Structure formats: C-alpha cells, structure tokens
Amino acid sequence: MALRDILNSGVKLIMIGGKGGVGKTTCAAAIAFHMAMEGRRVLIISSDPTPSLSDIFERNIGSHEVRIHETCELYGLEISSDIVLIRWKDRFGKEIHEVISSFADVDYDFVDYIGTAPGIEEEYMLSFIIELVESNKYDLVVWDTAPAGHTLRLLKLPQLFLKHMEAATKFYMNIYSYFEKLKEAVRLGESKRTLLEIIGSWEALAERIVRFIRDRTLTEYIIVTIPEALGVILTERIIKDFQEHGLYVDSIVINHVIEHEDCEFHRIRKEMQRQYISMMRGQYRNVDIMELYLMPYEIKGLERIEKISQVLFKTQG
Ligand SMILES: Nc1ncnc2c1ncn2[C@@H]1O[C@H](COP(=O)(O)OP(=O)(O)OP(=O)(O)O)[C@@H](O)[C@H]1O
Ligand SMILES: [Mg+2]
C-alpha cells in the first residue's frame, strides 16, 4: 500500500532497503518520526554495522531500545551482528546442545561452531525482529536494513530459516542414522520425543517468519533509490529478487531529485534524472513512487528529519 495509507492500516513492520548511501536511514528516520508524531508507538531499528541512527538522531542509540523523542513515542535500537549472535546463542544454544549431545560427545563450544555457519546471523536477525514485532510492544517497527546485498541475502534465507540448523546438525554429525534410531525410540514409546519436538519448533518458527514477511497486510517494503542508471538497475534487481521469493515492493522513494534547475549544471542533471524517473514510473505502475528532493544540507537532527517526512507524506504517487 502507499506510504500515506500505512497509518490507518494494520502494517506492523516496514522494511527499508536499497543501494548503499542512497538515503535509506534518512527515509527510515523520517517515516518512523512521522508515524510517532501521529500518535503511534514506533521503534526504528538499524541492523547496519555502522551506528547510523545515533548519527542522524544526534543521540546515543545502542543495542537496547531507547526513547529518542521527549513527547512522541519514538524509540530506537541499533543492533549489531555480534549482539545478534549472542542472543541467538541465548535463545537456541541450550536446545542445540541438547540435540547434539544426546547422540555425540560434544561440549558446549560446539554451539559456537554452529553459530559460525554462513547465514545464521542474517537468519537470526530476521527472527529477532519478527519476535520484537509480534511482542506488540510497538504499533510499528521500521527497519533500516544494511545496504542492498545484505538485504537480499537476508530475504533469501527465511525459507531455510533454522532448518539450516537441522541440516547443519545432520551434516556435521551424520545424524541420519541417529534419526532412524530416534524414530524407533519414539515408536517404542521411549522418552526421546522432546528432541523431535525441539527440531519441530525450529521449523515452526521458520514457517511463522516466512508467513509474516509474505503477509502484505503486516509487512511493507520500501526501496530507496536514485534517478541514475545504477539506481534503476539495482531497483530492478531487488524487485525481481523479491518476486522470486514471494515478496512485493510496495513503495519506491526516488531520492536526490533536483528540485530547481537554476544553473546549467543542474539543468543537465535534472534532465538526466527526468529520464530515469519516467523510466521507473513506467516500469512500476503498481508501485507507489515518491520523489524526494535533494536538500542543500545533510539530514541530521529532528528538524531536518521532519522536513523529509513532510515531503514524503505529501508526495503523490
Ligand atoms: N534528500 C536528501 N537531501 C540532502 N541530503 C540527503 C538526502 N537524503 C540523504 N541525504 C544525505 O546523504 C547521506 C546518506 O544518506 P543515508 O545515510 O540516509 O543513506 P543510507 O542509504 O542509509 O546509507 P548506507 O547505505 O551507508 O546506510 C547522508 O549524509 C544524508 O544526510
Ligand atoms: Mg544507512
């Protein structure tokens, strides 16, 4: 749905993606701020390795949720992959150890080893954020994702989410024969059932996450881009990739648009931009497209963030 319709919808999660440096954090901040000013309880999360929210809001936001506005309910959280991994271990470490140590002699360090498997970090980031969303502590969570490559990898993974752990376990420990024994034990009524239940619960969690991110009434995807060839190509790639995974981009923000051409340099640039903008408008007729002007200053502090949100929320698609 269009950005301006989100306010009165049941959307719980807005994900903002796009190429590096195009204005993702700026747009995420403006959207979160607007929704909070409209009376919603909003959490903005950045999973970027560099602490970008602290920068734009000009206050310290760390790995714990902090309130970033005195009057409206706007909260912020910067979550690094290190912390995600620590939380992943808290959440699953004991279960994993329980599963593996029941058939192999491993100490707890093995959990660390599984934690280094490729993809775990992104997988758990998603799980962590969905759990936050589902906790209903906030009306809306706005997620400023890391640059495009990361986002794509992240979105490719949910289908495999946590099944990966099962697969990793099978692979590393040659679990197949163990599963046969386990099934036999269950058949004979012996007390191994909980292990199958644990693995079952991982799968259930994976399915829940996929259902959530595919539900267009709950999750909204916004791509930020710029009116240049590279921006157009990358947007195309992201949208195609999303579709392949059953996900749909709802809005595109075209940022860095020249508003007034008052010199030759800007006239040429604006003409170049115009072509790419109409190309995208023609290509994505079902997507809400917004244009965001390039301001003469960088976007830092609430006053400028508010300025961006005014442009975003009055732009017609
Ligand atoms: N419309 C705009 N007008 C003026 N400056 C802008 C605008 N949009 C973004 N900027 C500036 O451009 C820089 C990059 O923006 P931002 O940090 O939002 O990009 P990003 O996509 O989050 O980058 P990264 O991929 O590094 O996380 C910032 O200095 C920001 O203030
Ligand atoms: Mg950013």
The full set of domain ranges for the chain reads 3-314
Residues framing ligand 1 (Cβ under 6 A): 20-26, 48, 52, 147, 255, 292, 294-295, 298-299
CATH level 2 (architecture), domain 3-314: 3-Layer(aba) Sandwich (3.40)
Q: What is the pLDDT of residues 274-316, one digit of tens each?
A: 999 999 999 999 999 999 999 999 999 999 999 999 999 985 4
pTM of the entire structure?
0.86
Rounded to whole angstroms, how far apart are CA atoms 266 and 256? 12
Q: What is the pLDDT of residues 270-283, one digit of tens each?
A: 999 999 999 999 99
In this structure, the residue with its CA closest to atom 12 of ligand 1 is: 23
**Which one-letter amino acid corresponds to residue 302?**
L
**β-pair type (74-78, 251-257):** unpaired
Q: φ, ψ for residue 58 (rounded to 5)?
A: 55, 40
Q: φ, ψ for residue 287 (rounded to 5)?
A: -105, 140
Query: 288 alpha carbon to ligand 1 midpoint, in Å?
Result: 21
Instruction: Judge contact between 228 and 222, C-beta under 8 A.
Output: no
Query: For residue 76, what pLDDT band results from cuts at 50, 70 and 90?
Result: very high
Cβ-in-10-Å burial (0-12, 13-18, 19+) of 72 comes to middle
Query: 193 alpha carbon to ligand 2 midpoint, in Å?
Result: 45
Q: What is the pLDDT of residues 127-151, one digit of tens each?
A: 888 889 999 999 999 999 865 555 5
